[in-house]
Structure 1
Amino acid sequence: MPNSDAIRRRAFRRTDDYTPGTPKVKLVEEILPPLGPTSVLIKVHAVALNYRDANIANGGNPWPVIPNGILCNDAAGEVIAIGDKVKTLEVGDRAGPITDTENISGREISRSWLAADEDGVMADHIVFDENVLCKLPTYLDWVEAATIPCAGVTAWSALKGMSIGQTVLIQGKLTPKSASIKERKANFRVGTGGVSVFALKLAKAAGLRIILTSSSDAKLKQMSDKYPGILTLNYSTNPEWDQEAMKLTGGEGVDIVVENGGTGSLVKSLKCTRRGGVVSQVGYLSKQDPADLRELVPTIIDRRINLRGINAGSKHDMEDFCAALSAAQTGLHDLIDKVFPFEQAEDAVEYVWQGKQIGKIVLRL
């Protein structure tokens, strides 16, 4: 293996035991994948979790996953070895993989998601082709940098096209605490999670007017204290929150919605978006019921809404995002909720599964 003596790694693989109370990941030691001519070996320093990871570990992913795969798709690490044909990275560079390894330019017709179609990054060493790796900003620490590939790039892609002075509504969805295990496995469940908080921070930095929704007054207050000037809506105590959002914008509607809910909130998101505005669908966190979409077609036509699906983003998106962060020297420490040691990966997965986080959960190696 060129430039490195590392031949084995520690990794957390899923147990695929979905029984409540049983471990969802298992620490294993295994031989590293071979280093091909265009491959890069990275020593991982931090791994960030998304609710997607906890959902996959608990059997709730709506798409097939490989058996006992390595969890997680967000990592930041140091290049310690490269194949003899690698041109874009050097030993010592800071790098991480994109979430969809088929999505380079955004025009590809196929997809392959880390931690689902292929192994993820919850390991102390990872090997990827240089084509799916991006350099990470050098001014960030490892924990901050690990939040970029999925949550960060998703938020960046969801806000694409916004301009100073426009209004964005950002959903922080929460499945009711009374939801059954079956419901929680079938639907994402988050607090004010990574994408929402990342989008809020980016929107504020870009000079946008922000409306944040949640079902928790405590979380809304915490976010208001942390980011003064944002407007908040509790969709649990204000079931007609779309009408409240319209009032907050003088009856015009918001310019863009970062939509997390799916069928349970999509029509209301459309109704509170201005005519010709944008709804970026980044998730489906609420209970999914097609009956909630009865008004979808007439609403989307009437309001001329541009509804776009966001699946993280392309490699080009991640490169653009990292360039923007570096240019502004934007700190991301305020996005971090809690840092766990790598060895406590099981505890971190459960913490996210319970929806306790306000921001990002990260494993430090």
Structure 2
Amino acid sequence: MTQQITTRRAFRRTDDYTPGTPKVKLVTEPLPPLTPTAVLIKVHAVSLNYRDANIANGGNPWPVVPHGIPCNDAAGEVVDLGDGVKSLARGDRVAPIVDTENITGREATRSWLAADEDGVLADYLVFEEEKLCKLPDHLDWVGASIIPCAGVTAWTALKGVEIGQSVLIQGTGGVAMFALKLARAAGLKVILSSSSETKLRKMKEQFPSPPLLTVNYATNPEWHEEVLKLTDGAGVDLVVEVGGTGSLVKSMKCTRRGGIVSQVGYLSGQDPQKLKELLPVLIDRRVVLRGINAGSKHDMDDLCAAVSATQMQFDDIIDSVQPFEKADEAIEYIWQGKQVGKLVMRI
């Protein structure tokens, strides 16, 4: 089929890390060619992650392509496809996976959207068929857009826990809120931590039954001891860890012996001095410490199946919806940590 649409509007990073300067610029550019095994996607919604603001402000610890397109969470529909595409059709609701090399989870290479390659903050995208997943039919575009990165990261971070077990979820960002939804649906005891009493109070009101357990790590520097008290001294079965070096050791201290710490992020920065106790605690508590880099295409397919089966909705973890043209303001909003849940841009 001949590709009718030849250009797209996209935001590209300015790579100017000076505070107060624009971090992205809107451009009109030619679309990548539509190969026989690729599809053209009309994007309807893109959601932001802290990672996007961090990269735009020069804080990413890994190399990124210069002036790349931000964002790796998007939802859209197939509007054209190559002659060799077999599993997708026009009108299908799809999203690309975050690590486009990670199909089965056994690949030796990786390529992250918005880092090693362009991201998805554009009105049209071209992707190979194998790098796309079908989205749940019952979700609107806004809800569907948070699945690829925040959703799949939360899904893989929670692997290994069973009904009746406990999980500590750190923060109220996108991954944390998605993990909270999944954990509650899976019958897990949830402890939520934050530095904001206002955010914790809002979460308690939003998730009243069963009562949500909370810990404020700003007012309680020894917050790991509070988590231990809430689990009768045993510790949680799993931690969704987003702090990094500033909180990792304490997270391990409040994980039960033989439990799991899923290292998702590094919001507190990187300070090796805070890891002096890492090895003794790791060995003493027999903690399984694992790095979480979103997940594979198979993981995303499994998550979408679970969301469809439960008819899960995400309206209650959407912070706000902004127009596509407000991308720079949205990135700054995330950078300042104002959001509770997900900020989504509608196109």
TM-score, normalised by the number of residues in structure 2: 0.98
Q: 5+ residue gaps in structure 1?
A: 173-191
What displacement does 1:4 show? 4.4
Superposed CA deviations along residues 143-199 of structure 1, whole A, max 9, x for unmatched, are: 000000000000000001211111100111xxxxxxxxxxxxxxxxxxx21001111
Q: Distance in 2 between matches of 1:138 and 1:302?
A: 47
State whether structure 2 residue 22 is matched by structure 1 residue 19: no
Q: Distance in 2 between matches of 1:7 and 1:235?
A: 51
Q: Distance in 2 between matches of 1:341 and 1:4?
A: 27
Q: What is the aligned counterpart of 2:189 among 206, 209, 214? A: 209
Q: Secondary structure at the match of 1:262?
A: coil
| Pairing of 1:234-273 with structure 2 (within 5 A) | 234-273=216-255
Q: Distance in 2 between matches of 1:103 and 1:247?
A: 39
Q: Secondary structure at the match of 2:179?
A: helix
Q: Secondary structure at the match of 2:257?
A: strand
Q: Distance in 2 between matches of 1:23 and 1:348?
A: 11
| Pairing of 1:41-120 with structure 2 (within 5 A) | 41-120=40-119
TM-score, normalised by the number of residues in structure 1: 0.93
Superposed CA deviations along residues 249-283 of structure 1, whole A, max 9, x for unmatched, are: 11111000000111111111111111111110001
Q: Distance in 2 between matches of 1:19 and 1:294?
A: 34
Q: Distance in 1 between matches of 2:2 and 2:336?
A: 42
What displacement does 1:294 show? 1.0
Corresponding residue for residue 304 of structure 1: 286
8 Å contact kept, 2:3–2:34: no
Corresponding residue for residue 169 of structure 1: 168
Q: What is the aligned counterpart of 2:266 among 279, 284, 301? A: 284
Corresponding residue for residue 178 of structure 1: none
Q: What is the aligned counterpart of 2:204 among 197, 218, 224? A: 224
State whether structure 2 residue 313 is matched by structure 1 residue 313: no
Corresponding residue for residue 330 of structure 1: 312
Percent identical among aligned pairs is 71
Q: What is the aligned counterpart of 1:350 among 332, 336, 340? A: 332
What displacement does 1:287 show? 2.7
| Pairing of 1:134-149 with structure 2 (within 5 A) | 134-149=133-148
Superposed CA deviations along residues 66-89 of structure 1, whole A, max 9, x for unmatched, are: 111111001000000111111111
CA gap 1:279/1:83 in 2 versus in 1, 3 angstroms = same
Superposed CA deviations along residues 310-357 of structure 1, whole A, max 9, x for unmatched, are: 000111000000000001111111111000011111111111111110
Corresponding residue for residue 186 of structure 1: none
RMSD: 0.8
